Amino acid sequence: MTNSDNKCLSPPIYLDYNSTTPLHQDVIDAMIPYLKSFGNPSSSHYYGFETKFAVELARKQVCECISCDLDELIFTSGGTESNNYAIKGALMSKYQTTEKYHVITSKIEHPSVLEVFKYFENKGYFDVDYLNIKPNGLVDLEQLKYLLRKNTIFISVMHSNNEIGTLQPIKQITSLCKQFNPTIIVHTDASQSIGKVSVNVNDLGVDLLTICSHKFYGPKGIGALYIHHGVKLDPLFHGGGHEMCRRSGTENVLEIVGLGKACELVTKELEDRNLLMKRMTKRLYDGLVNKIGKNFIRVNGDQQLKLPNTLNISFPNIEANQILNEIGDKVAISTGAACHSTNESAYSPVLKALGLSSDIAKGTIRLSTGIYTTEKEIDNAVKIMSDTINKLKPDQLSNDTTTEEVEIKLTSLTKGMGCGCKLRPKDLNSILNQIPKQFPNPNVLVGSDTCDDAGVYKLRDDLAIVQTTDFFTPICDNPFDFGRIACANAISDIYAMGGTPISALNLVMFPSGKLPWSVLKRILEGAQEKAQEAGVYILGGHSIIDQEPKFGLAVTGTIHPDKVWKNSTAKAGNYLCLTKPIGTSIIQTGVKRQIINDENLQSLAIETMARLNKYACECLRDNDIQVNVCTDVTGFGLLGHLKEVCLGSHVGAQVYAQSVPLIDHEKIAEKYGRMNECISGGTSANFEFTKDVVDYDTTLQEHWKMILNDAQTSGGLLFGIEKQDLEKTLNAFKEKQVFIQCIGQFDEHNATNSSSMIRVKNEKLFQ
């Protein structure tokens, strides 16, 4: 295995089998011949017969695994499709009637079930009830009895939960429903169950059952749906009438063969697999209890009615993401279901349904063993995890140790990073537009009614004060660097107005029970060093206890009332210049997610963010360069801030993508910028915010659109100058060795066509 910089690494211990499983070698061997067997199973000749036989053999193998007849099973593309088809196929014709029917599911279903029910509910097609979950993870059967109505026609409850492993009493649920009304259709998602526990559709009594191949050592992208005799489903796909006219589309022979073989192995090996996984999971739990202490570990879900391989545990007052960041390169685990992993705004809905407090839920991890898990792996994983968790215990971190004694990864304590965790521009604007305007004040030169970087208040004819505040969560792991960057970023707003910063107040939000005080000391030292460089005196500040570390400053500066730079005064024909390269969010997101391990690149990003915009501001002021418009590029990204400038100034702009500077052009433009894993949530929100005004060149590659919307932290000044001043400006910056790049021009804009307010060209400004 190699990392992104081609350094050899030992592969981490894999304890995330509920997310996916590796292909079994016997499955691989069964599939290989069908890489060459190309026949269409619907064709009436030798090549078709060959693949048709393989498909039907696989159907037989799957049916034997769950004890159903051959004509009760169809192949799908996986668990998500099976769940969607089971629900939509059964209900599709029902919402076209005048009667409004009632359906039931539980609060802890997979999103491919829950989202379908929510869709029907939001459309008003059905009345939907969501079963509560008891503290042990089981659905409330008494509530189910109460919820059943005469017009109840469908219920879906998963066989086993993918996060906590709890096995639901499906047989009892089916019995209750059928006794109440035999026509109620019962569906269960058994994606996590097959291969771990016995799944027999006759014992369960269900009408529909979902199967997902990659959860039990088969290939991804293939699954199946059991459909009991007599249950009619409207087809989702119409066409060739494949799969008994229930699922049109030429069969995926290769993966169907893999699914069949995986099911055959389950039929033969289930008991041995069950015992092995149960033994490995117990060894894992016992080892953690021995090393960490039983009182500091909470086990979630019923411990009797559960999958043999799943251990869902919580560590109070420790962030699960912090644990993952610490051990991710050594042990592969998860904080919940893979389908929720991109949602960093909240903890798992399953844990919410269990009623866990936020302090416990946020410290929850899921461990899942498999048939390839060894005792040695378990023992090594126990040591790695226990060492990390013992280090992160609040009673350990609260000791007054030095930063060097306790290695802290600040970014692991937060969901977002730096300016990228600002409120989304669209949401913020919608709120601000609802706030009544303040009373007029002739001394307010720049106030809250614009999108400027700071406020300006005139004290006398020759003096005004500039006021701003900015704070955010860590953008890097080193506390000293975090302090430097946060300070440079906060002061930048004064420079963006053309002012001179003079004083500041620290804003501290600190998780005192999670981090040693030495971390806060280093943050403040970093800020003070940068403030001293800027000539700013820190007068004091304010602090509160918070779940996540945050730091920033409230800054005051001075300016002549007639020399204020605004972000709403751009002129058509002006050149557009930028004083720092972009790409900070791509780099730091990649570092946080352990994709980027390039220390030089990370150091370059940190120094770029820590660089004061003082020097760019002085170059412009000292050389009497007429700045018609100015802002600094931070969380809304280059195009987001440019959108605010264009809207406020009633002008358009042309941006030349090939002239936009990147911190490391080759690594960002050709490598990390192409990786979705390096794109932060803030960057994606910026793209949504700007897409209504940006017209991208048709030749511009998709990843460049995200780069131009990358959520910057402590970015450069973005300003407009007269054409005749360009050469003078470039020479002034060159003489002072301050970075500058001309990236575009402002132009006239037709207000009736907002989609082309900003045009991004895939070329250089000056050829």
Tell me the residue range of the domain where 294 lies: 270-406
pLDDT-above-70 percentage for the chain: 93
What are the C-alpha distances in Å from 12 to residues 116, 181, 597, 744? 36, 51, 16, 46
Question: What distance in Å separates the CA atoms of residue 497 and residue 499, rounded to the nearest whole number?
Answer: 6
* Residue 259: alpha-carbon gap to chain centroid: 30
**Which CATH number characterizes residue 642's domain?**
3.30.1330.10
CATH number at residue 149: 3.40.640.10
* Residue 201 sits in the same domain as residue 59: yes
Nearest to 17 by CA among 452, 410, 385, 378: 378
Q: Is 4 contained in some domain? A: no
Q: Given a cut of 50, is residue 54 above it in pLDDT? A: yes
Helix (H, G, I), strand (E, B) or coil at 364: strand
Report pLDDT digits (tens) over 55-85: 999 999 999 999 999 999 999 999 999 999 9
Residues 705 and 740 reside in one and the same domain? yes
C-beta separation of 634 from 727 below 8 A: no
Domain match, 617 and 482 both: yes
Residue 10 lies in a domain: no
Rg (CA), the chain: 30
Characterize the bridge pairing of strands 694-696 and 758-761: parallel
Residue 414 lies in a domain: no
CATH number at residue 361: 3.90.1150.10
Domain's final residue, options 237, 268, 299: 268
For the segment 646-663, what is each residue's pLDDT rounded down to a tens digit? 999 999 999 999 999 999
> According to the model, what pLDDT value does residue 341 have?
43
Amino acid identity of residue 221, one-letter, is G
Rounded Cα–Cα distance for residues 651 and 759 (Å)? 12
Q: Cα(124)–Cα(526) distance, rounded to whole angstroms?
A: 56
Q: 199 with 279, same domain?
A: no
Reported confidence tier of residue 420, pLDDT bands at 50, 70, 90: low
What average pLDDT does the segment 221-227 reach? 96
One domain for residues 369 and 481: no
Tell me, what's the pLDDT at 513?
Answer: 67
- The domain total for the chain is 3
708-740 pLDDT, tens digit per residue, is 999 999 999 999 999 999 999 999 999 999 999
Residue 206 lies in a domain: yes
Domain co-membership, 46 together with 192: yes
Q: What are 170's strand-pairing partners?
A: none
Q: How much of the chain, in percent, has pLDDT values that exceed 90?
A: 69
Residue 194 within any structural domain of the chain: yes
State mean pLDDT over 631-647: 93
| Beta-carbon contacts of residue 759 (< 8 Å; ≥ 6 apart) | 652, 653, 654, 655, 694, 695, 697
Q: How high is the pLDDT of residue 751?
A: 56
**9: in domain:** no
Q: What is the pLDDT of residues 679-705, one digit of tens each?
A: 998 899 999 999 999 999 999 999 999
Q: Is 365 helix (H, G, I), strand (E, B) or coil?
A: strand
Helix (H, G, I), strand (E, B) or coil at 763: coil
Q: Are residues 365 and 443 in the same domain?
A: no
Whether 279 and 255 map to the same domain: the answer is no
Same domain, 279 and 208: no
Of the candidates 405, 610, 414, the one whose C-alpha atom is nearest the C-alpha of residue 510 is 414
Domain boundary among 366, 385, 406: 406
Task: From the candidates 63, 68, 263, 339, give the one annotated as an active-site residue.
Answer: 339
65 contacts 197 by C-beta, under 8 angstroms? no
How high is the pLDDT of residue 343?
40
**Mean pLDDT across the chain:** 89
pLDDT in tens, 239-281: 777 877 778 788 899 999 999 999 999 999 999 999 999 999 9
pLDDT score recorded for residue 44: 85
- Cβ(318)–Cβ(359) under 8 Å? no
User: With 90 as the cut, is the pLDDT of residue 349 above it?
Assistant: no
Nearest to 417 by CA among 714, 631, 676, 3: 714
180 close to 113: Cβ distance less than 8 angstroms: no
Residue 322, pLDDT score: 80
pLDDT in tens, 375-408: 999 999 999 999 999 888 765 544 444 434 345 7
CA distance 655 to 745: 7
Residue 65 is among the residues annotated as catalytic for this protein: no
262 and 393 housed in the same domain = no
In the predicted model, what is the mean pLDDT of residues 284-313?
93
CA 59 to chain centre: 37
The pLDDT value given to residue 347 = 66
- Residues 301 and 186 both lie in one domain: no
Q: How many Cα neighbours within 13 Å face the side chain of 552?
A: 19
Asked whether residue 15 is domain-assigned, the answer is: no
Predicted local confidence at residue 68, as pLDDT: 96
Write out the two tokens for 672: 């990390």
pLDDT tens per residue, range 70-126: 999 999 999 999 999 999 999 987 876 677 899 999 999 999 999 999 999 998 899
Q: State mean pLDDT over 217-222.
A: 96
User: Can you tell me the distance from the alpha carbon of 311 to that of 297, in angstroms, rounded to the nearest whole number?
Assistant: 11
List own/partner pairs for 538-541 with CB under 8 A and 24 or more apart.
538/503, 538/504, 538/505, 538/506, 539/503, 539/504, 539/505, 540/505, 540/506, 541/505, 541/506, 541/507, 541/508
* 11 inside domain: no
> Domain check: are 303 and 255 in the same one?
no
Question: Average of pLDDT values for 307-319?
Answer: 91
626-661: burial string, b at 16+ Cβ within 10 Å, e else:
ebbbbbbbbbbbbbbbbbbbbbbbebbbbbbbebbb
Residue at a domain's end among 406, 427, 451: 406
Q: What is the mean pLDDT of residues 438-443?
A: 84
pLDDT for 4: 44
